[in-house]
Amino acid sequence: MKVLIVNKFLYPNGGSETYIFKLGETLEKKGHEVQYFGMEHEGRIVGNEAESYTSDMDFHTGRIKKLLYPFQIIYSVEARKKIRNVLNRFTPDVVHLNNFNFQLTPSIIYEIRAFEKKTARKIKIIYTAHDSQFVCPNHLMRNPLTGDICTKCIDNGVSNCIKNRCLHGSGTKSLLAAFEHALYHILNTYEEIDCVICPSEFLKKKLETYKAIRNKLIVMHNFVDRPSIKTEAVIKKDYVVYFGRYSEEKGIQTLLKVCRRMPEIPFVFVGSGPMVEEINKVENITNKGFLSGEKLQQIIGEARFSVIPSECYENCPFSVMESQIYGTPVLGANLGGIPELISDGETGELFTSKNEQELYAKIYELWHNKEKTDRYIENCRNVTFDTAEKYCEKILKIYGDK
C-alpha cells in the first residue's frame, strides 16, 4: 500500500511525532510505501518525493505575519496547494492524518477528496486523535490561565473559549480558534474522515459527544517496543525518575514542591521545556536534559519508580507505557488516559492530580517500602503492550490492506 502520513511537525517534537516516525518505519519494513506531509523545518527528518511542504509557522513566538494569521489558521491555501503536489506525485491509497489543525488546517481534507474525484480512485482518510481538537478549540480541555481542567465548550458551546481566552491567553487567538472550530463543524468537514483512532477509552468518550464522528471511533492504545536491554538484568538504583516535558500542565510545579519537602530522596529529571531553570534550582534533582535511545532506557530502567504527575488530560502517554516496559513502576495522576495504563496496586499507583499532600505521601510510602516496589517491579516485567509490529498489523486492517 501507499500511505501518506500527515502531521504538522516532521521533526522530533512530542508524542505524535514519536508515533508517526515509528509507524512509518514499521510500515516500510512490511513492504509498504510511506511518505510524509507537513511543515518545512530545519530539523525535518522525513518527507516526500515532491519535496512539497508548507512554510514553518510558530504561533508562540510570533514568527507568523499578523495580517495573514486569521486566514492561515482557519484555511490554508498554501497547505492545499502543497499537498496537491504530493498527491499528484505519490497517489496514495491511504492518507493518515495526525495533528493538522491551525498550521495545515482542514483545507487539506477538501484537497484529498477533490483528488479522489479527479482520479476516480478511493482514498481512505484515517485520523489518529492525539488530542481533543474535535471537541475543544484549544485541543487541551484545560484553561491555560487558571490551569483548571475544562470541558465547558463540550458542555455549553465554543463561546467559552473566547470568554476564557483559552488559546495562549489571547482574546484574538481564542476568537479565531472558536470560529475555526465552529466553522468546520457547521460544514461537516470531519465527516469526510473514514475512521478516527482514539488511543484511550477516555478520549473516545469525550469525542463521542461530537455526533458526526461518533460511529467512526475505535480505541487502539499506542504501541511501545520491548527495550533493547534485558530488564531482569538491570540493577535498580536509589532514585526516582521523571521524564517528559518540563512544563506546568505536566504537573512539574506540584512535583517540585514535593521534591523540596523530601531532600533525602534523589530525583532524576529527563527532558526539556520552559521550567528548566526552576528545576535546576532544586538541590536534590539531577537534570539530565533531553535523552533518547539506550541512555533514556537505562535511566528509566534503573529507577526505583517513576512519577507522572500530569495536571492535564493525557491521552495515552508513552512515558507511562515505557516506564513499565522498562521494568519501572509508575506513580501516576488519576487523570485522562493514565489510569487505563496502570494496574493500581500491581504495576504502580495512582494519586489525585494537583494534590500535593497525596503525592508527597505516595512518594514517601513507595520510597520507604522496598518490599512493595520490588513486587511492582516484578509485575512490570510481565507487562505487555502492543509492539509497533503488532499495532501495524491492526492498522493495516483499518487501512483496508488485503
pLDDT digits (tens, 9 = 90+) for 147-188: 889 899 999 999 999 998 988 888 888 888 899 999 999 999
Phi, psi (5° rounding) for residue 62? 80, 20
Query: What residues in the chain have per-residue pLDDT under 70?
Result: 58-71, 229, 402
315 and 270 housed in the same domain: yes
Instruction: Please report the pLDDT score of residue 56 as a whole number.
Output: 86
Answer yes or no: is 134 within a domain: no
Examine the domain organization and report whether 325 and 200 are in the same domain: no
In a domain, 50, yes or no: yes
- Same domain membership, residue 344 and residue 267: yes
Does 204 lie in the same domain as 89? yes
Same domain, 251 and 296: yes
Predicted pLDDT of residue 65:
52
Task: Please state, in angstroms and rounded to a whole number, the distance separating the CA atoms of residues 354 and 361.
Answer: 13
Residue 160 lies in a domain: no
pTM of the model: 0.90
Residues 197 and 292 in one domain: no
pLDDT at site 64: 47
Quick: pLDDT tens for 288-313. 999 988 899 999 999 999 999 999 99
Please report the pLDDT score of residue 229 as a whole number.
67
What is the 3-state secondary structure of the chain? CEEEEECCCCCCCCHHHHHHHHHHHHHHHCCCEEEEECECCCCCCCCCCCCCCECCCCCCCCCCCCCCHHHHHHCCHHHHHHHHHHHHHHCCCEEEECCCCCCCCCHHHHHHHHHHHHHCCCCEEEEECCCCCCCCCCCCCECCCCCCECCHHHHHCCHHHHHCCCCCCCHHHHHHHHHHHHHHHHCCHHHHCCEEEECCHHHHHHHCCCHHHHHHEEECCCCCCCCCCCHHHCCCCCCEEEEEECCHHHCHHHHHHHHHHCCCCCEEEEEECCCHHHHHCCCCEEECCCCCHHHHHHHHHHCCEEEECCCCCCCCCHHHHHHHHCCCCEEEECCCCHHHCCCECCCEEEECCCCHHHHHHHHHHHHHCHHHHHHHHHHHCCCCCCCHHHHHHHHHHHHCCC
Find out whether 267 and 360 touch, Cβ atoms under 8 Å. Answer: no
Predicted local distance difference test score (pLDDT) of residue 39? 96
pLDDT of residue 71: 64
Residues 108 and 255 grouped into a single domain = no
Do 216 and 363 fall within a single domain? no
Any domain includes 176:
no
Is 219 in the same domain as 315? no
User: What pLDDT does 281 receive?
Assistant: 97
Assess whether 266 and 284 both reside in one domain: yes
Residue 283's CATH number: 3.40.50.2000
Residue 82 maps to a domain: yes
Judge contact between 49 and 4, C-beta under 8 A.
no
Query: Are 340 and 394 within one domain?
Result: no
- Give a yes or no: residue 163 inside a domain: no
Residue 299's domain spans which residues?
A: 231-380
Do 362 and 319 share a domain, yes or no?
yes
Number of domains in the chain: 2
In the structure grid, which three cell numbers stand for residue 173, read together?
A: 487567538
pLDDT at 167: 84
Q: Is residue 278 part of a domain?
A: yes
Residue 140 lies in a domain: no
